[in-house]
A and B are shown apart, each in its own frame.
Chain A
Amino acid sequence: MTGGTQLTFHCPTCGESMAVNAPMREALLNHGCVVCGTPVPQSAFSAPEPNGDTEC
Chain B
Amino acid sequence: MTVEQQTVMTGAETDALLGRHETGVLSLARGDEPYAVPISYGYDAGTRQFCMRLVSTPGSQKRRFLTDAPLVRFVVYEETEAAYCSVIADGRLERLPKSELTADHVKRYGTAKRPLFEMWGEPKAELTIDLYELDPEELSGRRIEVD
Contact = CB atoms under 8 A, between A and B. Distances in A.
Interface of A: 1-2, 13-16, 18, 23-24, 26-28, 30-32, 34-38, 56
Given A14-B129, A36-B114, A24 B53 contact: no
Contacts of A14: 124-125, 127, 129
Interface string B52-63: 010000000000
A35 B131 contact: yes
Contact of B103 (A15, A24, A32, A37): A24
A1 B102 contact: yes
Contact of A27 (B53, B106, B127): B106
B106 A37 contact: no
A36 B117 contact: yes
B105 A37 contact: no
- Interface-centre pick from B53, B100, B113 (highest chain A CB count, 10 A): B53
A35 B107 contact: no
B84 to A, nearest CB: 30
A13 B113 contact: no
B99 A56 contact: yes
Nearest to B99: A56
A32 B114 contact: yes
Given A27-B106, A27-B107, A34 B131 contact: yes
A28 B106 contact: yes
